[in-house]
Amino acid sequence: EPEVTQTPSHQVTQMGQEVILRCVPISNHLYFYWYRQILGQKVEFLVSFYNNEISEKSEIFDDQFSVERPDGSNFTLKIRSTKLEDSAMYFCASRARLADTGELFFGEGSRLTVL
Amino acid sequence: GENVGLHLPTLSVQEGDNSIINCAYSNSASDYFIWYKQESGKGPQFIIDIRSNMDKRQGQRVTVLLNKTVKHLSLQIAATQPGDSAVYFCAENTSGYSTLTFGKGTMLLVSP
């Protein structure tokens, strides 16, 4: 069964360092997302991406964040200068069509710990 | 703003019981709703969805009920099993926007 894969599963970094989280969405999917979940809290939307550009973003997704689809398979989230409050689980998700609203397939997540 | 922290609402049931998990959604313009299950250390997993033109939808052992008047969504799990233990989130969406907005989550604990 096709799945969304994310790397790394866990990254520990120092405050102020740059971090890149990587995702490989399901191959025929067109819409890509990043969500984050602070420990014990709800899943929060960060950004959606379609046709090589950001389609929506939340207030959380400030200038420190960026996304990129550098090739035909990878979808990355970059945090330029990490802060303590960026510590969270980051989930990548994808779906085939906008109409498939519910069938958002999530990866297993990348846990980011900022010290 | 909201801060659930570690204090997730928790529902504890015995194996074989029926479980009902509730969710209040926020946006009256939302017209599509989804329930997700999240097991420890994993990403959310789609369970069942419902559109606003319906008030009930059934799946395998699960039923979703939608009350648009009071903006309330519920998930019923029949004959709950230990494998159902997880955190359950409702999510809402508005047509034309791809973003899903997640609710706070409820932890379901099933005892054998």
pLDDT of B27-61, one tens digit each?
A: 888 888 999 999 988 899 999 999 999 999 999 99
Q: What is the mean pLDDT of residues A52-79?
A: 93
CA A30/CA A95 separation, integer angstroms: 6
Specify if B30 maps to a domain: yes
Residues of B whose CB is below 8 A from A32? none
Residue of B3, B48, B49, B98 to mutate, interface with A, max A Cβ within 10 Å: B98
Give the pLDDT mean for B83-112: 88
Residue found by looking up tokens 């008047």 in the block: B69
Neighbours of B17 (CB within 10 A): 14
Distance, CA of A85 to CA of A9 (rounded, Å): 19
Q: What pLDDT was estimated at residue B3?
A: 35
Task: Give pLDDT, residue B39.
Answer: 93
| B87 belongs to a structural domain | no
Q: By the 8 A CB rule, do A57 and A48 touch?
A: yes
> How close, in Å, is residue A18 to chain B by CA atoms?
24
pLDDT greater at residue B62 or residue B7 = B62
Q: What is the pLDDT of residue B1?
A: 34
Specify the pLDDT at position B104: 85
The mean-pLDDT minimum among A85-94, B3-12, B31-40 falls in B3-12
What is the full DSSP assignment across A19-54? EEEEEE--TT--EEEEEEE-TTS--EEEEEEETTEE
Say if B104 is an interface residue toward chain A (CB within 8 Å): yes
pLDDT number for residue B41: 84
- Inter-chain touch A106–B93, beta carbons under 8 Å: no
SS3 call for A86: helix
Residue B16 lies in a domain: yes
Q: What confidence score (pLDDT) does residue A100 get?
A: 56
Give the sign of the dihedral formed by CA B78, CA B22, CA B44, CA A115. negative
- Assess whether pLDDT exceeds 70 at residue A34: yes
Domain count, chain B: 1
Q: Domain residue spans in chain A?
A: 5-114
Print the domain residue range for B51: 7-58
Is residue B34 included in any domain, yes or no? yes
Classify residue B91: in a domain, yes or no: no
Residue B104 to residues A38, A98, B22, Cα–Cα distance (Å):
12, 24, 11
A112, A85 contact by CB (below 8 A)? no
Interface test with B, best of A43, A48, A106 (most B CBs within 10 A): A43
| Residue B41 counted as domain residue | yes
Partner A contacted by B97 (CB < 8 A): yes
pLDDT at site B7: 64
What CATH class has A5-114? mainly beta
Supply the mean pLDDT for chain A. 91
B77 belongs to a structural domain: no
Residues in A touching B75 (Cβ below 8 Å): none
What gap in Å lies between CA A67 and CA B99, rounded to an integer? 16
> Is A40 in contact with A48 (CB distance < 8 Å)?
no
Q: Which of residues 73-112 of A touch B (CB under 8 A)?
A: 91, 93, 98, 101-109
Measure the CA–CA gap between B72 and B54, rounded to whole angstroms.
Answer: 13
